[in-house]
Amino acid sequence: MDARSPEYRERRAAMLDKLAALDAEHAKALEGGGEKYVARHRKRGKLLVRERIELLLDPDSPFLELSPLAAWGSDFPVGASVVTGIGVVEGVECVIVANDPTVRGGSSNPWTVKKSFRASDIALENRLPVINLVESGGADLPTQKEIFIPGGRMFRDLTRLSAAGIPTIALVFGNSTAGGAYIPGMCDYVVMVKERAKVFLGGPPLVKMATGEEADDEELGGAEMHARASGLADYMAADEADALRLGRQIVRNLNHRKLGPAPGPVEEPLYDAEELAGIVPEDLKVPFDPREVIARIADGSRFEEFKPLYGTSLVTGWTRVHGYPVGVLANAQGVLFGAEAQKAAQFIQLANQSDTPLLFLHNTTGYMVGKEYEQAGIIKHGALMINAVANSKVPHISIVMGASYGAGNYGMCGRAYDPRFLFTWPSAKSAVMGPQQLAGVLSIVARQAAEARGQAYDEDQDRAMREMVEAQIEAESLPFFLSGRLYDDGVIDPRDTRTVLGLCLSAVHNAPVRGADGFGVFRM
C-alpha cells in the first residue's frame, strides 16, 4: 500500500470523519446523566463511576471498556447507565460492572440488563473474576416488563460464576434495593460503605405499607447493620476509597492463576499502525487486501499464509499478536465461494488440532449465489464452514473491518457464533444483504404478487418504497446502531486494533485454550 497515494488519503480522510463522529458518541457516554446530576453526585461527596474504576485498577494499567455505545438510538442514554470492561486489579484481569448513579439513579433499563449479561458471559468464558461497583435504583420501573423476567439471569449468572470457581465481588457504594439487593446477596465477597450503602428488599415506605412497621434506612439496610447484624457485609469500608482498597485486597487474596499458556516474546509490527486508518475504501464494493491490515497488527509483520493459491478470496495463515499464536481468516475479494468455505473449514480444524486461537477479519458480502454455484453445492460448502466455526472450541475474536453480510457473517464468526470478543471498525456494515439488493428483492416480490392478482403495478409507489427501504436498511447496518443493540463489544479506532487484540488475547488466556475433540457431521 502506498501511503502517499490519493486513494490512501481519501480513505484516511473518510475514516477520520467517522472517528470524529465516534468520539462525539463516546463523549455522550462519558457525560453520564449530564451536568446537573454529576454536580449533585459530587456535592454528596461521591466519586463518579469512572473515577471509582480508575482507583480500583492498577495504576497506569489499561481498561478495555465494553459496549460504551449500548442503548444508542434508543430512548435511554448512550452507555445504558452501566460501565463494563476488563481491567487489571493486583495483576489480575477482572470484569468490572459499575453502575452510573448519575443516570436515572443508576437504574437498570433493558439495555443495561443486556450489557450486564454480556459482561457475565465474558467472565464465564474467560474465567475472569467479576467486581460489581454497586449504586443503583434497581429496575427502571416504567420498563419493568422488559427487564423483570429476563433480568433474573443477572443473579443466576453470579452464582453460576461462583460455582464454576470464578470469584464474584460486590463493592456497594449506595443504593442496592429490591432485586438489586441480590447483587451483593449472590456475590462471594461483599464490601459496604459506611453510612452510604443501603441494601434492603424494601425501603422505609414499602415496609410501612406492607406491615405498618416504622424503620429508617440505616436499620433496614445500612452497612453497619449488615456488617454487625445480618452478616451480608463481609467488610465495612470507612468511605469510597477504603471500599476500593478493600476490593483490591480481596483480589490479592484470590490466588488467581491464568490457565492458558503464557505469551512468547513480543515484536512490534514493521509497518505503521497509523496507516490502518487509510485501508478500507469508503465504498465497500471496492476490495482491499487484508494482508495490509495483518502487516500492521502482527508481531514482526510476520504472516505464514496457508493455501495461498487456493480459494484466494479468503486469506488464511498463522501469525502472533503480542506474543500469542493466532490463526487468521480474512476476507479478500468480498464473496465466499465453495473453495474458500472448504479452505476455512480445513484451517479451523487445524487451529483446533494445535490449540491456536482464531482471528476473523470480516469484509464479506456473503456466499456466492447463482445457478452455477448452487449446482456446485455452495450451500453445503457454506454449511461446512459454519459447522467448523460453530463447533470450534479455541477462542475466536472477530473484527468487522468492512462488509459483513448474509451467511458470510455467520461463517466468519458473527455475534451469533459466540466469538469471545467482537469489535467493529467505524467503516463496517452488517445486514442480511446490501440495502439496494434488499429493496430490489422486495420490489420484485411485490411486482410478482401484483401480477398474480392481475393488478397493475404502481411504479411511483415502487420507487418511493425502494428509497425508503434502502435508507432504513442502510441506517440499520451501521456500527453505532448495531453497537447500540449490543451486537458487538464496541466500535474501535482501526489504529487501536493491535492493542485491543492484545488485551483480548491476554484475557482469553485466563481460561485453558483447547481445541474441539469433534465437529458436527461435515456434508461432503
Given the rule CB under 6 A, which residues bind ligand COA?
A: 104-105, 107, 137-141, 175, 177-179
Measured between alpha carbons, how far is 282 from 463 in angstroms, rounded to an integer?
26
User: Which amino acid, residue 162?
Assistant: S
Instruction: Tell me the closest approach of the beta carbon of residue 331 to ligand COA, in angstroms.
Output: 44
For residue 95, give the nearest of 135, 150, 57, 69 by alpha carbon: 57
DSSP secondary structure of 187-237: -SEEEEETTT-B--SS-HHHHHHHH-----HHHHHBHHHIIIII---SEEE
**Closest to ligand COA by CB, 206 or 339:** 206
| Cβ atoms of 391 and 518 closer than 8 Å | yes
As to burial, measured by CB atoms within 10 angstroms (0-12 exposed, 13-18 middle, 19+ buried), residue 117 is middle
Give the nearer residue to ligand COA in terms of CB position, either 77 or 408: 77
DSSP state of 491: B
Residue nearest to ligand COA (CB): 138
Integer Cα distance of 273 and 290 in angstroms: 14
- Whole-angstrom distance between the N-terminal and C-terminal Cα of the chain? 39
Is 96 in contact with 86 (CB distance < 8 Å)? yes
Q: How far is the CB of 187 from ligand COA (least distance, A)?
A: 18
What is the H or E stretch that residue 174 is in? strand 168-176
C-alpha cell at 192: 459496604
Minimum CB separation from ligand COA for residue 196, in Å? 11
CA pair distance 317, 326, nearest whole angstrom: 9
* Residue nearer to ligand COA on the CB measure, 112 or 331: 112
Q: How far apart are CA 172 and CA 198, in angstroms?
A: 8
Nearer to ligand COA, 44 or 285 (CB): 44
Closest distance of CB 246 from ligand COA, Å? 23
* Least spacing, CB of residue 146 vs ligand COA, in Å: 12
- Which distant-in-sequence residues (6+ apart) come within 8 Å of 253 by Cβ? none
| Separation CA 297–CA 361 (nearest Å) | 12
Give me the residues paired with residue 337 across strands: none
Which residue type does 411 have? Answer: G
137/426 with CB nearer ligand COA:
137
User: In the complex, what is the shortest distance from the CB of residue 32 to ligand COA, in angstroms, rounded to a whole number?
Assistant: 12
Residue closer to ligand COA (CB basis): 141 or 441: 141
How far apart are CB 29 and ligand COA at their closest, in Å? 17
Distance of CA 57 to the CA centre of its chain: 20
Pick the closer one to ligand COA by CB: 116 or 175: 175
Nearer to ligand COA, 205 or 518 (CB): 205
With respect to ligand COA, which residue has the nearer C-beta, 18 or 104?
104
Q: Which is nearer to ligand COA, 137 or 327 (CB)?
A: 137
Alpha-carbon Rg for the chain, nearest whole angstrom, is 25
- H or E stretch including 324? strand 324-331
Shortest Cβ distance from residue 236 to ligand COA (Å)?
A: 20
CB of residue 132 vs ligand COA: minimum separation in angstroms?
A: 16
CA 418, 435, 294, 318 dihedral sign is: positive
Residue closer to ligand COA, measured from CB, 138 or 408: 138
> Please, what is the minimum distance in Å from the beta carbon of residue 215 to ligand COA?
15
Instruction: Please give the Cα distance from 492 to 480 (Å, whole number).
Output: 11
Are 195 and 221 a contacting pair, CB within 8 Å? no
Distance CA 63, CA 43 (A): 27
Q: What is the nearest approach in angstroms of ligand COA to the Cβ of residue 484?
A: 20
